[in-house]
Amino acid sequence: MNRIFISLLFILTTSLSLTGQITVTNASFPAIGDTLRIATDNAPTGIAITPPGGTQIWDFTSLESGFLRTLAIRAAAEGQNSAAFPSATIVVPANQNGENYYRVTPTAYELVGFAGADPLNFGINVVTPFNPVLVERRAPMNFFDINQTSANLLAAFDADDLPPALLALFPIQPDSVRLRVAITRTDVVDGWGTLSIPGGTYEVLRERRTQYSDTRIDVKISVLPWTDVTALIPLPGAGLGRDTTLTYNFFSNTAKEPIAVITADHETGEVLFAQFKYNSPVSSTGDLAAQQAAVRFYPNPASGLLQVEWANMPRDRYQITLFNALGQRVLHRSFDAEGKTVLPLDISALRSGIHAFRVTGSAGNIVSAGPLIVANPR
């Protein structure tokens, strides 16, 4: 009798704890005519990843909008590469003037494919579908939902399309090169509650996403079959091979953007960076451009001389720091910049491999950060 009573009490307690949780419907899917505004904080503080459960209160108001992206949602037919993605219904801007093509159905928001810079930033433009498509959101979404998805990407191109400095790192000189990416992901809706970010408070569901990717490079010579040379390319940390990405995605039924996406170290749980819905008002196109101050490094991969382009930057003295794959500082420079400026940076002394750049202002604020591939000749 006691066991029965305890079991009934547990069921009753669980049922009561679910009261008040929301359901995220397809009303949250981006649609033609929407404009999404997403801010990025590359050095978030005060962000705690709580254990699974309901009735939670998350306070992310300490997030700062170091970089802002505005994404105008258009009909897929308006995209420059729409012919390559006949099943897509909308097109969304991607990084580096690229395009992401999505198919929106009553139950899913699916990434069909993309056109633009290759996933490894090798400086190659690709137009490639996902097969099968990569499910980005589902509807309806409820607490306790568990889903698995998989997708594959395949892009082949002539070796002549590669930057010469990068091609020189290959163990053999191929005729063709192929990039293969296999993705598997597990999504678990493990929490619900109230989330506060700068400028707003939302009722949300939290989805924990664990994504495993395997990125390989194959080469082909004459009539010989494709050969995997991933392990022979001296670019440690470039994203080749197996990788695991852990994100916590907070979705509301009253916004088209995720309210927050927190990327964490999959082993330690340490918060690495955050994206969040940008709520500050924008009064004019000029105001929006001023808020989108950015720093761009090109070419990427780079050898010898790297160009650093500053756009819409307030007058300040900026620090540029490059780190190697071990986290060691290998280059540090200071520049005065304002508005739009292009500055050369000599990187000929750096060893080939994946690096990370960080740009900070005089107050120590992080203006920009990201990966950079150095491909200096051997």
Compute the residue count for the chain: 378
Q: Mind listing the pLDDT tens digit of every residue in the chain (378 residues)?
A: 444 333 333 333 444 445 568 999 999 999 999 999 998 887 788 899 999 999 999 999 999 876 778 899 999 999 999 999 999 999 999 866 789 999 999 999 999 999 987 776 666 788 999 999 999 999 999 999 999 999 999 988 888 887 776 777 788 889 999 989 999 999 999 999 999 999 999 999 999 999 999 999 999 998 899 999 988 877 665 667 888 999 999 999 999 999 999 999 999 999 988 999 999 764 444 344 334 556 778 777 788 888 888 776 777 778 888 888 777 888 888 877 766 677 788 888 888 887 888 888 777 777 777 778 888 765
pTM of the model: 0.74
pLDDT value for 14: 44
DSSP label at residue 141: B
Q: Could you give the CA distance from residue 68 to residue 92 in angstroms, rounded to a whole number?
A: 15
Residue reference for tokens 């918060």? 271
Query: What are the E-state strand segments in the chain?
Result: 35-41, 53-59, 67-72, 74-75, 90-94, 98-104, 108-117, 125-138, 146-158, 176-197, 200-220, 227-228, 241-251, 260-264, 271-277, 294-298, 305-323, 329-346, 353-360, 366-374
CB burial string 140-166: b at 16+ within 10 A, e below: ebebeeeeebebebebebeeeebbebb
Domains in the chain, CATH or no CATH each: 14-277 (no CATH), 293-374 (2.60.40.1930)
